[in-house]
Chain A
Amino acid sequence: MRNRNFAKELGLQSFFVGPVLIFFTLIMVVPFFLGMYYSLTDWNGVARSVNWVGLQNFKTIFTNDPDFWKSFSFTVRFTVLGVILTNVVGFALAYLLTRALKLRNLMRTIFFMPNVIGGLLLGFIFQFIFIKGFDTMYDITGWSFFGLPWLGDATTGFWGITMVFIWHQAGYLMVIYIASLTNVPTEILEAAEIDGASRWQLLRSIIIPLIMPAVTICLFLAISWAFKIFDLNLSLTRGGPFKSTESVAMNIYNEAFQNNRYGLGTAKAMLFFVIVAFITIIQVRLTKKREVEA
């Protein structure tokens, strides 16, 4: 009887959990550990034989790979700016769209719409806007902002990607902030208003502390999007000019698929994982601390 029960449970366990377990193992677990191994080899992606090189790849990255650190610096600068700006814009939109505006549902739709377009197509669309659209706008308005060599140098390339990133992602964060803002109890706000709190005080001392859980999530999402940016980077600037806008994800991609140095590429990828995990843990810890209950 006990054996039959055990066999039955095992059958059910395999039926329900088996598929997820198999695909997860094949697609995530095995490659992850293989990657750890390959990062210590000179694998070139083609040859069957790979040679163990120990920590040589990591030594190369730290001592002799200025392009990687250049891409790292780009990614950090882009992440800091992109995360702050998407959150500010996303929150501002949400804050204003929780007012009793007549067109607010339509506007929520409009602000979210860019988010459903994939990063790759988006980059191509904005290539046109930056190159042709801005050109025309310059002819019409004469504003020097439109006359800059957009995407043509390091600075405009950086700001170009940042602007498109905000346009793409702010709407998503707006949705989360709206959900959170509508949960702020009206009584607290009314009580504070009666006590003579200004709008700014309401925002700073009541609303923001109460929506800290949403802030945690939005920061988490924005950091993860910005730090791992690839598609938009590829289609908008291809990392150029002169690798000035190459993200870490793209640097890893190029190391593997253009230079055919898979060993070095996987070593970078492992380093990338460690950095991403570290940032994520720190960030979640920091903002969780600041969450309060209503």
Chain B
Amino acid sequence: MNSKAYTGRTLITEIIMVLVALLFLSPFYFLFVNSVKTFGEIMTNSATWPAVFQWENFSRAWSLTNFPLVFTNSLIVTVVSVILVAIISAMGAYRMVRHNTRFNRIFFLILIASMVVPFQSIMMPLLRVVNELGLTNTRTGLVMTYLGLGGPMALFLFHGFVKSIPLEIEEAATVDGCNRISVFFRIVLPMLKPMLMTIIVLNCLWVWNDYLLPSLILQSPNLRTIPLATFSFFGEYSKQWDLALPMLVMGIAPIIIFFLFLQRYIVEGIAAGSVKG
């Protein structure tokens, strides 16, 4: 698909695309410049560069939201959920490919079918289940829910990937006396690494940004994740843009940094994950 020479036409395309890219970036510009303005300046002119940089906005929002706490909460929930989703679905997919019994085939079909079910359709009874298990308002309850919701998609992606791994390597290891569990953890899991990265990265974006589920399971302010804290902060200080905007900047900064560092995996993961479909 690559054209050969850099012609005048390519230059025009390039210029147009740069303009479109600037348009795409403009919301970030508005957000950042206004987050360091005084309230008065935001009100009178929200488009210009700040006359004075009011960094104090950030320190106020930082302490009002108890940002270190909510950041840690988000981090714990995301890391634990994502690692567990990746491991249990890799294990399941491995077994289901290598041991293709009727039970496993039917279970696989059910998992695929379940991906059509919208979260709202199970939301209310799910809360009842979490409640019956005594896990309302706990991180365990939240993480457990992510395992159930994220499992099908992850398992589906691993399933396709495991199929492409040649059986001979595992057989050689079995002959050398490895049992099936250590074959998986020492030989198969490392070979799953590309798909593992994809699944980790995609699930990180999902869990980190999720609002609805944590809002239903976690009530205690001490457990709040970034989206929950932002929501309640916005309720309290809506229209106080000199506090709300720095909060939003702090809220999106971690995930943007994560993206800029890992974008290769994110982009490859999306492309790889979608081709299978």
Binding site for B on A (CB under 8 A): 9, 12-13, 15-17, 19-21, 23-24, 26-32, 34-35, 38, 45, 93, 96-104, 106-114, 116-121, 124-126, 128-129, 132-133, 135-137, 140, 167, 172, 175-176, 178-182, 184, 186, 189, 213-214, 216-217, 220-221, 227-228, 230-231, 234-235, 248-249, 252-253, 256, 262, 265-266, 269-270, 272-273, 276-277, 280
Contact = CB atoms under 8 A, between A and B. Distances in A.
B89 to A, nearest CB: 6
Interface stretch (B18-26, B64-72, B168-176): B18-26
Contacts of B14: 101-103
Given A28-B122, A276-B118, A132 B42 contact: yes
B1 A182 contact: yes
Nearest to A38: B125
| Shortest 5 CB-CB contacts between residues of A and residues of B | A27-B148, A118-B209, A16-B95, A179-B271, A34-B125
A12 B180 contact: yes
Given A26-B144, A102-B14, A231-B212, A277 B116 contact: yes
A117 B252 contact: yes
B107 to A, nearest CB: 7
Given A24-B152, A27-B145, A118 B227 contact: yes
Contact of A262 (B116, B124, B245, B263): B124
B267 A24 contact: no
Contact of B34 (A15, A128, A140): A128
Chain A interface, >50% SS class: helix
A262 B256 CA distance: 38
Contact of B277 (A96, A110, A126, A216): A216
Given A23-B148, A269-B121, A136 B25 contact: no
Given A31-B126, A34-B128, A273 B271 contact: no
Interface of B: 1-6, 10, 13-14, 16-18, 20-21, 24-25, 27, 30-31, 34, 42-43, 45-47, 88-89, 91-92, 94-96, 99, 104, 107, 110-111, 114, 116-126, 128-129, 133, 144-145, 147-149, 151-152, 155, 180-181, 184, 205, 208-212, 226-227, 230-231, 234, 241, 244-245, 248, 251-252, 255-256, 258-260, 263, 266-267, 270-271, 274-275, 277
Given A103-B14, A119-B209, A179-B275, A24 B111 contact: yes
Contacts of B94: 16
A20 B91 contact: yes
A100 B2 contact: yes
Contacts of B245: 128
B147 A269 contact: no
Contacts of A262: 124
A132 B47 CA distance: 9
B162 to A, nearest CB: 11
12 contacts: A12-B99, A45-B124, A93-B20, A107-B21, A111-B24, A124-B234, A125-B31, A132-B34, A133-B46, A136-B45, A228-B119, A273-B121
A17 B104 contact: yes
A284 B107 CA distance: 22
Contacts of A13: 95, 99
Nearest to B249: A125
Contact of B122 (A32, A96, A118, A172): A32
A20 B155 contact: yes
Contacts of B212: 230-231, 253
Given A17-B95, A28-B117, A179 B274 contact: yes
A129 B205 CA distance: 24
A186 B159 CA distance: 32
Given A101-B17, A128-B245, A269 B1 contact: no
Contacts of B133: 26
Contact of B241 (A20, A128, A140, A221): A128
Nearest to A164: B27
B6 to A, nearest CB: 6
User: Most chain-B CB neighbours within 10 Å: which of A96, A98, A132, A221?
Assistant: A132
A189 B2 CA distance: 10
Given A31-B124, A31-B126, A98-B1, 5 more contacts: A27-B145, A34-B125, A179-B271, A256-B123, A269-B122
Contacts of B263: 109, 112
Contact of A21 (B31, B107, B116, B241): B107
Contacts of A256: 123-124
A12 B95 contact: yes
B1 A273 contact: no
A269 B6 CA distance: 54
B99 A124 contact: no
A274 to B, nearest CB: 9
Nearest to B181: A15
